[in-house]
Structure 1
Amino acid sequence: MTRSTGRMRTIILIAAALLLLVAAGCGNNGNAANGKAGSGGNGADTSANAGKTNEGQTNADQTKTEAPMEITWLSFNPPEDDSSPVQQALEKKFNVKFKNIRIERANYNEQMNIKFSSGEIPDLIYLDSSPQRVEELVNQGVLAELPVDEIKSHMPEYAKTLDDTDPSVWTYGQVDGKSYGIPVIWPIGSLPFLPGYNADWLAKIGYNEPPKTLDEFEDVLRKFRNDDPDGNGKKDTYGYSGQGTDSRSFSTVFGAFQVRTDYMVDPKSGQIVYGMTTEGAREAFKLLNKWYKEGLIDPEFVTKTANDYHDDFVNGKVGVRDWMSFQFEPRIGIVGSPFYTKNPDNQIVVGKQVSGPDGDGLAYSYGAKNAFLAMGRQVADDPAKKEKLYEILNALATDDQTYLTSVYGIEGEHYHMENGKPIMKPEFASENNKYKIGAGTFYGLFGTKSKLMEHYDYTDDTLKFIDGLREKGGQTLESLPLYVPAMDKYLDLGKLAQQYFIKFVRGETDLDAGFDTFVKAWNNAGGSEILTEVNAKYKDTFAK
């Protein structure tokens, strides 16, 4: 099959999954062995036998004296009304009536606060991944306690995927040792940041494989700058760039020195440190400054955004792009898809993290942590409602048909199955049209977020690509969404680091006495206090 033919066959599936994937912004322990799509199980079976019990009775017969339980539900991208096909299917399955809380995604937390301050607290609340947000709502008395053991007893299969992926995710939803959130993970978020190379350029400069060491990486950058890799007879190409003061800039270089420039776990001491203040960062900045002076780094990196750098790589201005490696995926990656569209006869060669002076480099990673599902405080006094919520959430995360209904709609009406994959009908392929039928993210809280359902969300080729990236990854330096009260006191620390970041790369401040001055200034401006609190709060959380 040619690349263009494969792309045409999967385009509708791609359109259905793309925005769900991107929303995870801004890495298969599970499988379908416990239930097949369309077979029922605990799912929202929409076939002709929907609602039938094993004894031939309908659910309606059994529950005709039991009124549906009302559940208020707060998530993002709600359906336009309360009678969408997906809502009706889920309500019938679980004998509930959803009251949808509608707020705009753009200012989700602000509108949420208004609701809460007026006493309108939903039963189910979707929260972003910020531990600070969880702590704020706990202190305001908004959330019900959800003990970890309780979550694991009600959602055992899903909980195992969390333990297998990253057991530290349980920590972020805790306040003073008590848990208030069911962690939601983004499995592909654990994939490494890796360098992607323009394959034609590599071949032009004599490389038949990507560089493995920092010295080889430097040689590639120099030849990408000086040896006319695009063959246009002009010296108008660069090997490397960045995105301003973004802490993800130059991740390949910092990773080679086993550091990242924000909060990280020191691989040697196990303590949480601010990576930009470490000796590894000093050495990385020295090398970057050397390359900058030599002209190997695009000098316009200072004003570039991440998308600008993506475009420069796609358009052949820069030959290396280091980024979250999934985004090099040819079909739906935000770098890969436009690259292959513009350069159909070229390829992106994804290399491994290069090694540095202390041995193997460590690749950046977002990590799998993504969000929390919380319950309003009133649920703590209503055991039946809490049980019902656990029942629904467990099915959304682990049951094939319930997952498919919540994320893709009604089989036969909105999608059909092809080779085990849900293929959206063209009229429902866009995310906005999915929202109208109640599918997507509002009820589909685990869309692209449950490893047990991963086989539905990606084509087999994409899954193979993902597995290959996991093999390349090695040990990673994950981002840490930490929160301690001292962070509220010292809000200017980030600005201080950003100012010095640019100065170090461009050589405006020397990296001997000047770097020491920065470290001292950072610690005295509150950094030292923050690290003391952070290491006390997260002691042993990241122990290997």
Structure 2
Amino acid sequence: MKGFRRTQAVAALLALALPLAACSGNGKEEAASSAGSSAASSDKPIEISWLSFNPPENDSTPVQQALEKKFNVKFKNVRVERANYDEQMNIKFSSGEVADLIYLDFSPQRLETLVNQGILAELPEDEIRGKMPEYAGTIDQADPTLWDYSKVNGKGYGIPVIWPIGDLPFLPGYNGDWLKKIGYDAPPTTLDQFEDVLRKFRNDDPDGNGQKDTYGLSGQGTDARSFSVVFGAFGVRPDYMVDEKTKQVVYGLTTEQGREALKVINRWYKEDLIDPEFVTKTANDYHDDFVNGIVGVRDWMSYQFEPRVGIVGAPFYAKNPNNKIVVGKPLAGPNGPGKAYSYGSQNAFIAMGKQVEKDPAKKAKLYEILNALATDDSTYLTAVYGIEGEHYQMQDGVPIMKPEYANENAKYKIGAGTFYGVFGTKSKLMEKYDYTQDTLKFIDSLRDGVQTIDSLAVYVPAMTEYPDLGKLASESYLKFVRGELNLDADFDKFVQDWNDAGGKEILRQINEKYTFGS
């Protein structure tokens, strides 16, 4: 069983999917009524209230009409702004307006709260497997522990939504021209070689402008994703993680591997090999510094180096068309091969309102629609991209949006996108439509030979009882990097303080609640 994983904000990644569009087959007639349709001409449509991201402006969009005809339903669109999704959802729930289908961000804490409030219907794992067998298989393949995240007190309340590329590793991307300038024909493979690269990126004028104005490495403040390539060389990440030997959750920053990684980072910081302004940088600042030739290494989710749509790759190649991002692998450290961070495959939950438990026909219809959205080509393409010929054209098996619908907001206006397309870029079975073959090859190459340390999304009550624990960790982390705390004299006290401030109790509750590995 793979380790539990933590969600991260993913709104930016939705923009990474190519501006593709909808339906395979023989046109919009097929899009409205192709394989999987359950519409019975004599049956009265079932009314379904639907709550998801980015609703259409009205209730008569082409996509809505096509799906309603296909499944013999009538959708009641529940409109909630994405920016204040949870807050506005709470207002609707407190007024008694509970949608039949509810799309939730991946938060076990949020799911548990809604269950305790009596908002959500029970969705047993066996029931989901029976109604959505193919999709359930993709969950098992991606990360079977996601089923446990969807449970409260042993009962299931959500269909796990996976993010197929979420398990891609954080890998170092190097400025290819700079590597050649300092005499490297290939990226470094060990921590010692990496240090040599950083030293030369700082001191040997890799951009050739005659000034000492370049750095090898930076970060994004106290973000746990900073310096991932260094922590990974020690097989650790500075937050909650599973210890391979004990299969217990530990807090990586408080481990001996965490201390050793911090020693390396502190030494580089004192030698001026790390951009000292990393403290105030955001992730986007670091992206920009790499693109603009200020920093020579970007250690980040490696998909972002993709030349066409990656949020690092696309601007890098636009600005540096004759250069190349050389994607490396995790660095071997003092204890052997390194590992890479990974967000993990978790992404969201699809839940149903409590009232659906009393309406078997509606529940069955919801399962039918969801199964088709995740596994049926025509349904998926219609929901996510629109109507073939009207909104997109197929090119080499991939839907390409017409220019007037290429913008995400334009897709929302026709009912396409994320509202009905709750599995858009989230179904392994439909990846063939979301990415070109070149991009899929790039994705596969990133996984090759890489072991990951995945994010955890564990939740226990103690996490809300000790709200200052994260502040203690982030402040100490920064002081260790800058040398304001000594990693020999002060580290043990930090660990003790962290445990006493609630960390020990949080870990106890986590390891009592969750089981990892065999």
Distance 1:224 1:460, change over 3 A: same
TM-score by length of 1: 0.90
Task: Report whether the alignment pairs 1:238 with 2:215.
Answer: yes
1:459: how far off? 1.0
Of the candidates 27, 50, 66, which is equivalent to residue 73 of structure 1? 50
Q: 1:46 offset after TM fit, Å? A: 2.7
Q: Residues of 1 paired with 2:451 and 2:276: CA distance?
A: 31
Distance 1:53 1:492 in 2: 54
Select 1:37's aligned residue among 24, 31, 39: 24
Aligned to 1:47: 29
**8 Å Cα contact 1:24-1:186 kept in structure 2:** no
d(CA) in 1 for partners of 2:113 and 2:377? 35
SS at match of 2:104: strand
CA distance change for structure 1 residues 90 and 423 in 2, over 3 Å: closer, same or farther? same
SS at match of 1:107: helix
Unaligned runs of 5+ in 1: 1-18, 28-35, 40-44
Shift of 1:47: 2.5
Using the alignment, how far apart are the partners of 1:380 and 1:434 within structure 2?
Answer: 33
Q: Within 1, Cα distance between the matches of 2:332 and 2:49?
A: 52
- Between stretches 86-95 and 409-418, larger displacement belongs to 409-418
- The reply to whether residue 340 of structure 1 matches residue 322 of structure 2 is no
Does 2:97 correspond to 1:120? yes
- Mapped contact 2:216–2:274 kept (Cα < 8 A): yes
* 1:173–1:180 CA contact under 8 A, matched in 2: yes
Contact 1:228/1:235 (<8 A) preserved = yes
Structure 2: distance between partners of 1:247 and 1:77: 30
8 Å contact from structure 1 (residues 20, 448) kept in 2:
no
Q: Tell me the distance in 1 between the aligned counterparts of 2:140 and 2:361.
A: 27
Partner Cα separation in structure 2 for residue 53 and residue 426 of structure 1: 29
CA RMSD between the two structures: 1.9
Contact 1:21/1:448 (8 A) holds in 2: no
CA shift for structure 1 position 177: 0.6
- Secondary structure (helix, strand or coil) at the match of 1:63 reads coil
CA contact (8 A) 1:20 1:440 kept: no
C-alpha distance in 2, partners of 1:110/1:375? 18
Q: 1:164 aligns with which of 141, 152, 159?
A: 141
Secondary structure of 1:106's aligned partner: helix
Cα distance, 1:512 vs structure 2: 1.4
User: Relative contact order (alpha carbons < 8 A, sep ≥ 6): 1 or 2 greater?
Assistant: 2
Q: Residue in 1 aligned with 2:41?
A: 63
Structure 1 segment 59-458 matched on structure 2, within 5 A:
62-64=40-42, 66-458=43-435
In 2: Cα distance, 1:125 partner to 1:52 partner:
26
Q: Retained in 2: the 8 A contact 1:144–1:376?
A: yes
Q: 1:53 to 1:458 in 2, by over 3 A?
A: closer
Cα pair 1:20 1:441 within 8 Å, conserved = no
In structure 2, give the amino acid aligned to 1:379: V
SS in 1 for 2:456: coil
Equivalent residue for 1:15? none
Instruction: Please tell me the residue identity of whatever aligns with 2:496.
Output: K
Which of 473, 480, 501 is residue 525 of structure 1 equivalent to? 501
**Alignment: residue pair count:** 505
Q: Deviations over 1:159-190 (max 9, x none)?
A: 10110111111111110111100000111010
Say which SS state the counterpart of residue 400 (structure 2) adopts: strand
Question: Could you report, residue by residue, the CA deviation over 1:242-298 in whole angstroms, capped at 9, with x for unpaired residues?
Answer: 111000000000000111011001122211001110000100111111000101000
Once the two structures are TM-superposed, the CA of residue 416 in structure 1 deviates from its matched residue by 1.3
* One-letter amino acid of the structure 1 residue matched with residue 497 of structure 2: A
Cα gap change, 1:51/1:305 in structure 2, threshold over 3 Å: closer, same or farther? Answer: closer
3-state SS, counterpart of residue 228 of structure 1: coil
What letter is aligned with 2:406?
A: A
- Secondary structure, in 3 states, of the residue corresponding to 2:82? coil
Shift of 1:539: 1.7
Q: Distance in 1 between matches of 2:229 and 2:428?
A: 28
Q: In the TM superposition, what is the alpha-carbon distance from 1:475 to its structure 2 partner? A: 1.5
Give 3-state SS (helix, strand or coil) of 1:334's partner: coil
Whether the 8 Å contact between 1:414 and 1:424 is mirrored in structure 2 is yes
Residues 441-493 of structure 1, C-alpha deviations (whole Å, 9 max, x = no match): 00000110000000100111111100111115x22111101100111100111
Q: Which runs of 4+ in 1 moved over 2 A?
A: 19-27, 45-54
| Equivalent position of 1:513 in the other structure | 489
Match of 2:79, as an amino acid?
A: R
Residue in 2 aligned with 1:485? 461
* Alpha carbons of structure 1 residues 48 and 453: separation in structure 2 relative to 1, 3 Å: closer
Name the SS of the counterpart of 2:144 in structure 1: coil
Q: Which residue is equivalent to 2:5? A: none
8 Å CA contact 2:202, 2:212 repeated in 1: yes
Q: Distance in 2 between matches of 1:151 and 1:26?
A: 29
What TM-score do you get using the length of structure 2 for normalisation? 0.95
Q: In the superposition, relative to structure 1, how do residues 480 and 93 fare at CA in structure 2: closer, same or farther (>3 Å)?
A: same
Report the residue type matching 1:150 in the other structure: E
CA distance in 2, matches of 1:425, 1:534: 49
Q: Separation in 1 of the partners of 2:468 and 2:98?
A: 33
CA distance in 1: counterparts of 2:86 and 2:161, whole angstroms = 18
Aligned partners of 2:466, 2:126: CA distance in 1, in Å? Answer: 36
Tell me whether 1:476 sits opposite 2:418 in the alignment.
Answer: no
CA–CA distance in structure 1, aligned partners of residues 166 and 192 of structure 2:
29
